[in-house]
Amino acid sequence: MMDYLLIYYIFSFIIGSIIGSFLNVCIYRIPKGESIVYPPSHCPKCNNRLKWIDLIPIISYIFLKGRCRYCKEKISIKYVLIEFFTGVVFLLLAIKYGISLDYLKYATLFSLLIVISLIDMETMNIYLSTTLTGIVFGLIFLIAQGVLENYILKEYMYYISGAIIPAGIIALIILLTGGMGWGDVEICFISGLFLGLKLSIVMLIASFIIGALISLVLIWGKKKTRKDYIPFGPFIALGTLFALAFGDKLLLWYLNLI
Ligand SMILES: [Zn+2]
The arithmetic mean of pLDDT across residues 205-234, rounded, is 86
Which pLDDT score is estimated for 115? 96
Going by the DSSP 8-state scheme, the letter that residue 52 receives in this structure is G
Q: How far is the CA of 79 from the centre of ligand 1 (A)?
A: 15
Q: How far is the CA of 60 from the centre of ligand 1 (A)?
A: 14
Mark whether 159 and 82 lie in a shared domain. no
E strands along the chain, which residues? none
Q: What band does 2 get if pLDDT is binned at 50, 70 and 90?
A: low
The arithmetic mean of pLDDT across residues 40-54, rounded, is 84
Q: How far is the CA of 105 from the centre of ligand 1 (A)?
A: 36
Does residue 55 have a pLDDT over 90? no
Q: How far is the CA of 121 from the centre of ligand 1 (A)?
A: 25
Indicate the number of domains in the chain. Answer: 2
Which pLDDT score is estimated for 224? 75
Q: How far is the CA of 48 from the centre of ligand 1 (A)?
A: 6
Q: How far is the CA of 42 from the centre of ligand 1 (A)?
A: 8
- Report yes or no on 117 lying in a domain: no
Mark whether 229 and 145 lie in a shared domain. yes
Which stretch of DSSP H or E encloses residue 3? Answer: helix 2-29
* Percent of residues in the chain assigned helix, strand, coil, to nearest 5: 75, 0, 25
Asked whether the beta carbons of 166 and 201 are under 8 A apart, the reply is: yes
Q: Show the CA angle centred on residue 212, arms to residues 209 and 214, nearest 5°.
A: 105
Q: How far is the CA of 67 from the centre of ligand 1 (A)?
A: 8
Mark whether 179 and 245 lie in a shared domain. yes
Domain around 222: 126-258
CA distance 170 to 164: 10
Q: How far is the CA of 52 from the centre of ligand 1 (A)?
A: 15
CA distance 192 to 138: 9
Asked whether the beta carbons of 20 and 83 are under 8 A apart, the reply is: yes
Mark whether 94 and 56 lie in a shared domain. yes
CA distance 126 to 120: 6
Q: How far is the CA of 22 from the centre of ligand 1 (A)?
A: 19
- How many Cβ atoms from other residues are within 10 Å of residue 209's Cβ? 14
- The strand pairing partners of 74, in sequence order, are 67
Which pLDDT score is estimated for 1? 58
Q: How far is the CA of 72 from the centre of ligand 1 (A)?
A: 6
Mark whether 94 and 132 lie in a shared domain. no
Q: How far is the CA of 113 from the centre of ligand 1 (A)?
A: 29
The arithmetic mean of pLDDT across residues 67-85, rounded, is 91
Does residue 258 have a pLDDT over 70? yes
Going by the DSSP 8-state scheme, the letter that residue 30 receives in this structure is G
